[in-house]
Amino acid sequence: MIEVSNLRKEYGDLVAVDGASFSARPGEIFGLLGPNGAGKSTSIGCISGLLKPSSGQVRVLGHDVVRDARAARASLGVVPQELALYEDLNARQNLQFWGAAYELRGSELKNRVQEVLEICGLLDRADEAVKKFSGGMKRRLNFGCGIVHRPKVILLDEPTVGVDPQSRVRLLDLVKEEAKRGVTVLYTTHYMEEAQELCDQLAIIDHGKMVASGTMDELRGMMGERDLLRMSGSFDPHSTEAAIAKLPGLELVSVDAESLMLATAEGSKRLPELFACLSKVGAEVRETTLSQPNLENLFIKLTGRELRE
């Protein structure tokens, strides 16, 4: 169980996380979706006790991460965005060390290390120095080091960045398995597809602010049954805006000199009248894309920006 309320983290003048509130329950994968610099890693840092929140409260299994830091940290497993491994040691020694850091000892540690090596598909390379591993193998070991002590809460910070599709599927399966065992998972990503496939609950975060949250269905509902229409060409923002306003059922998402975004139900049927209207105000359309409701569209609708820019 993770409970975050009004979390705020400032770096000088910059507000990296601005009043985030959410909670993730056992057996649930909670996704934190946002572009680069949105504040995902900062949130994870505050939850794992690495960063001191400027204000707000974070509780892990009921333990306040600031006042009851040790207990909170003991129940957490963290898989950081950047690899955190001893590259000169082998995979087994890495797992042994991190297991010991969470008080696993003796045969219990030994067996669990063996188990994790198997889970991560690294059994045959267990006694090789990590620096000889491929990027994907390091990622899997990085994940393994975060779960070696069977934590009840796992924080994963973009664990699949730079991983080939096969390893990625494998990693996502591992995360799902952990959740099935009743573990609370917080998963950050900037991949829509990953969030859509994996997460039971989702929060979309941009510039430190949570712009939407809920289950996948709830979020789709926010988008409505509406399609997203993206046009590029040349537009006069003022006259375009005025012209669109006269068309019922069309919602203007954003407009500038080169692009125009609209949300509407049954987009394909509205195209002819839209083109007519735009040519009347002198706009020139070079390319049009129409997409079905999905998270990406929701993000664009909420922030006026593409998720990956």
Partner 1 sequence: MRFVFDSARKDLRWLFADPTALILAIMIPLIIGGLMSTIAGGGDTAIPRARVLVVDQDEGLLSEFLQGAGGSAQGGDFLDIETVELEEGRARMDRGEASAMLVIPAGFSEAMLMEEPTSIELVKNPSQTILPEIVEEALQMLVEASFYLHRVLGEPIKAIAEGPEEEKSFFDDLRMAALAVQINQQLRALEKILFPPVLELETEIVREESEEKAVPQSFGMLFLPGILLMAMMFLSQSMSETLWLEKDKGTLRRVASTPQSMFGFLAGKLLAAFLLMTGISTAGLVLGVWVYGLNWTAIPLSMIWLGFSGCTIFCYFILLQTLAGSQRGGSILSMTLLFPLMMIGGTFFPLEAMPEWMQEIAFWTPNGQAIVQLKTVLNGSWQGQSLLLAMLCIGIPALITFLMTSMRLRGAFLHK
User: Which parts of this chain interact with partner 1 (CB under 8 A)?
Assistant: 48-51, 70-71, 73-74, 76, 78, 80, 82-89, 93, 97-98, 100-103, 105, 129, 145
Measured from the CB atom, the residue of 39 and 136 that comes closer to ligand ATP is: 39
190 makes contact, choosing from Mg ion, ligand ATP, partner 1, none, with CB < 5 to 8 Å by partner type, with ligand ATP
Give the interface with ligand ATP as residue ranges (CB under 6 A): 11, 14, 16, 34, 36-42, 81, 190
Q: Is 142 in the site for Mg ion (CB under 5 A)?
A: no
Contact in structure between 50 and 25 (CB atoms under 8 Å): no
Measured from the CB atom, the residue of 54 and 93 that comes closer to partner 1 is: 93
Positive or negative, the CA dihedral 234, 236, 242, 243 is negative
Using alpha carbons, select from 158, 148, 146 the residue that is nearest to residue 31: 158
124 makes contact, choosing from partner 1, Mg ion, ligand ATP, none, with CB < 5 to 8 Å by partner type, with none
Q: What is the CA radius of gyration of the chain?
A: 23
Measured from the CB atom, the residue of 35 and 267 that comes closer to ligand ATP is: 35
Q: Is 160 in the site for Mg ion (CB under 5 A)?
A: no
Q: Is 75 in the site for Mg ion (CB under 5 A)?
A: no
Question: What is the number of other CB atoms lying within 10 angstroms of the CB of residue 107?
Answer: 7
Measured from the CB atom, the residue of 163 and 274 that comes closer to ligand ATP is: 163
Place of tokens 């198997």: 118
H helix or E strand, kind and range, residue 157? strand 153-157
Contacting residue, 41, 142, 201, 303, with Mg ion by CB under 5 A: 41
Least Å distance, CB 29 to partner 1, is 20
Positive or negative, the CA dihedral 107, 109, 111, 114 is negative
C-alpha angle 271-273-277 in degrees, rounded to nearest 5:
115
d(Cα 19, Cα 54) in Å, to the nearest integer? 10
